[in-house]
Amino acid sequence: MNIPQLAREAMSQGLLFRTWGNLSKRDKDDKNNFLITPSGMGYEDMEEKDLVRVFEDGSYEGNIKPSSESPMHLALYRRFPDINVIIHTHQPYGSALSLLKRDIPLTESEAEKLGSDSIKISGYALPGTKKLHNNVDQLASLSGCKAILLEMHGVIIMGEDEESALENALLVEGACKRYFEEIGAHALSFNEDVSEITRNDNVATMPRNIFDKRPDINAIIRMTSQDVNKHTAMKPYLDDFAQIVGIRANSSCKYNVVFGDSEVFCLGKDMEDATAVRHIFEKNVLAQAVAKVSGHKPIHVLEAILMNQVYKRKYSKLKDMKKD
């Protein structure tokens, strides 16, 4: 298994989605360097030749920009000489448990595989920033665990090779799901009734109102739940929710998740975008449930606005590049 194959397998297991997250592997020709997934490239068609070589001093080879989280990978490779593969995932339960404010306990068998009896949580910082990278490096110096939760963000997984990294990622997700249940977190529940709606469909009043108010939206995923109504509101507890959904979700059509009576509408420019919004919304539902247990506050509104604006500019640029 190589890194692109690992990425696709992680996607099939629900650990990665679209271009989010990043993966890297030590350079077999020079252990001080590593190869990492490029910024903004989808995993579906990625090949080994697309990986970017990052050198010991942080510089990189070629004209393709490496992931913005490459300094974090570099710091971890320096600290753990036996680690050869790193995955930064946005896996659902691992991301949600990052709001818990305490270590995640592991069973004896999990601890044996991950190298510690608990998983620690690195303090919050904006994605791609030096503060985030420093937080991870400092925490890694205190823990020998092959996993670190990134507060309100995602998970870092380490392994000796691609197979062990994937195994560790799945192990962490299972441990976090188990602990989610043990702490008594209760998330909104949804019915199996899910429908995909496009602008050209002959649809009921609510989806049509959304299309009328949002000319940028061409696709909607409709979910049903007895736990929501038009007065329901949700704030961002994970940074990708702030980036892609907005500073909140409510019954207005201003943001990319809209609540109705026993309905939730996930909005996108196309069905791929709407599916991404649904995926992020469902993760934020889990994170909100954990926050109710831990007392964790949502992302500050100013930071949420900043992340949303930066993402819109970056995403639009990538879309234009794909069209060219």
Instruction: Give the pLDDT score at 323.
Output: 41
User: Do 170 and 245 lie in a common domain?
Assistant: no
H or E stretch at 166: helix 162-182
In a domain, 257, yes or no: yes
d(CA 131, CA 94): 21
CATH number, position 229 = 3.40.225.10
User: Do 90 and 175 lie in a common domain?
Assistant: yes
User: Do 50 and 154 lie in a common domain?
Assistant: yes
Residue with tokens 């309100």: 152
In a domain, 188, yes or no: no
User: Do 114 and 244 lie in a common domain?
Assistant: no
Catalytic residue among 47, 69, 112, 163: 69
Length of the chain as a residue count:
324
Instruction: Give the pLDDT score at 120.
Output: 95
Along the chain (324 residues), what's the average pLDDT of each consecutive run of 10 residues?
Answer: 94 89 93 91 90 92 88 93 95 96 94 94 89 91 90 96 96 97 93 91 83 94 92 93 92 93 94 93 96 95 88 62 44
| Phi and psi torsions of 157, nearest 5° | -120, 135
Residue with tokens 């490496």: 66
- Asked if 183 contacts 100 with a C-beta cutoff of 8 angstroms, the reply is yes
- Asked if 96 contacts 188 with a C-beta cutoff of 8 angstroms, the reply is no
In a domain, 49, yes or no: yes
In a domain, 304, yes or no: yes
Instruction: Give the pLDDT score at 225.
Output: 92
* Buried/exposed 179-201: b ≥16 CB within 10 Å, e otherwise: bbeeeebebbebeeeeeebebee
In a domain, 173, yes or no: yes
User: Do 300 and 206 lie in a common domain?
Assistant: yes
User: Do 164 and 249 lie in a common domain?
Assistant: no
| Phi and psi torsions of 21, nearest 5° | 80, -175
User: Do 125 and 37 lie in a common domain?
Assistant: yes
In a domain, 187, yes or no: no
| Phi and psi torsions of 135, nearest 5° | -60, -45
User: Do 148 and 34 lie in a common domain?
Assistant: yes
Look up 69 and say whether it is catalytic. yes
DSSP state of 249: B
Q: Which residues pair with 249 in a beta bridge?
A: 234
In a domain, 189, yes or no: no
User: Do 86 and 163 lie in a common domain?
Assistant: yes
Instruction: Give the pLDDT score at 62.
Output: 83
Q: Any idea what the Cα angle at residue 147 is, between residues 145 and 148, rounded to 5°?
A: 105
Number of folded domains that form the chain: 2
- Which is it for the CA torsion 149, 155, 161, 166, positive or negative? positive
User: Do 86 and 31 lie in a common domain?
Assistant: yes
Could you say which of 117, 149, 182 is where a domain stops?
Answer: 182
Could you say which of 182, 209, 243 is where a domain stops?
Answer: 182
Residue-range definition of the domain harbouring residue 59: 3-182
Could you say which of 130, 158, 182 is where a domain stops?
Answer: 182
User: Do 178 and 201 lie in a common domain?
Assistant: no
User: Do 149 and 57 lie in a common domain?
Assistant: yes
